[in-house]
Amino acid sequence: DSGVTQTPKHLITATGQRVTLRCSPRSGDLSVYWYQQSLDQGLQFLIQYYNGEERAKGNILERFSAQQFPDLHSELNLSSLELGDSALYFCASSGTGRTDTEAFFGQGTRLTVV
Amino acid sequence: AQTVTQSQPEMSVQEAETVTLSCTYDTSESDYYLFWYKQPPSRQMILVIRQEAYKQQNATENRFSVNFQKAAKSFSLKISDSQLGDAAMYFCALQNQAGTALIFGKGTTLSVSS
């Protein structure tokens, strides 16, 4: 158990809909990262939050957004869903952000868009 | 641009034998971190081994060891005494600075036969 919790584990939704994925980081971890794993694109970094503030952006679509709340949990919002958004979405957390290099991954949310 | 390349989409090994997975990377940083992650069928991302670029000594974790060649930007993973439980997808990853996102290779699927 990595200590990172993601909900839900599975999600099936229709094209055009909006979903929210939730992540609770390890206790004390300030950084949260979101990654997308798809068959054609592999594992791609989407966005990072550190202590409530956006720190870095990767290949995140404009239809996607994220936030980190005061209790440090994070949510990834995916809107106007397309078939190609079907993927495994991982959340990872790490320590202070400057000295701690190891990222701990949640079990992922499997999103299927039909 | 920072990139990670895993040139072996699939590898196979027999139990108790040794296998080496290849990884090359590109970065303009002088201090960075390299990782190997294992993803079994459960989809959980599990850290196998980590190497700090400033350390010349190759990292070792039980049956897992790396061959880190900084000048050649090569970072291979050696699995000794392979076990059935080693069957998984293995990802090589680069982290340019502590507390930043991971850049992943496309992965190598390792199968282990008895």
Give pLDDT tens digits for B78-106.
999 999 999 999 999 999 887 889 999 99
Of A76, A58, A68, A75, whose CA–CA distance to A30 is shortest?
A68
Q: Which residues of chain B make contact with A42, given a CB cutoff of 8 A?
A: 104-107
Q: Which residues of chain A make contact with B44, given a CB cutoff of 8 A?
A: 2, 105, 107-108
pLDDT tens for B49-88 read 999 999 889 999 999 999 999 999 999 999 999 999 999 9
Phi, psi of A10 (to 5 degrees): -135, 145
Q: Which residues of chain A make contact with B47, given a CB cutoff of 8 A?
A: 102-103
Percent with pLDDT over 90 in chain A: 85
pLDDT tens for A33-55 read 999 999 888 899 999 999 999 99
A56, A102, A107 member nearest B101 (Cβ): A56
CA distance A79 to chain B (A): 24
Segment (H or E) for B54? none
pLDDT at A102: 82
Percent with pLDDT over 90 in chain B: 89
Of B47, B63, B38, whose CA–CA distance to B95 is shortest?
B47
For chain A positions 5-64, those within 8 Å of chain B (CB to CB) are 31, 33, 35, 42-45, 48, 50, 56, 58
Structure tokens at B90: 């293995």
Share the mean pLDDT of chain A.
Answer: 93
- Selected residue of A32, A55, A105, A111 to mutate for chain B interface (largest B Cβ count, 10 A): A105
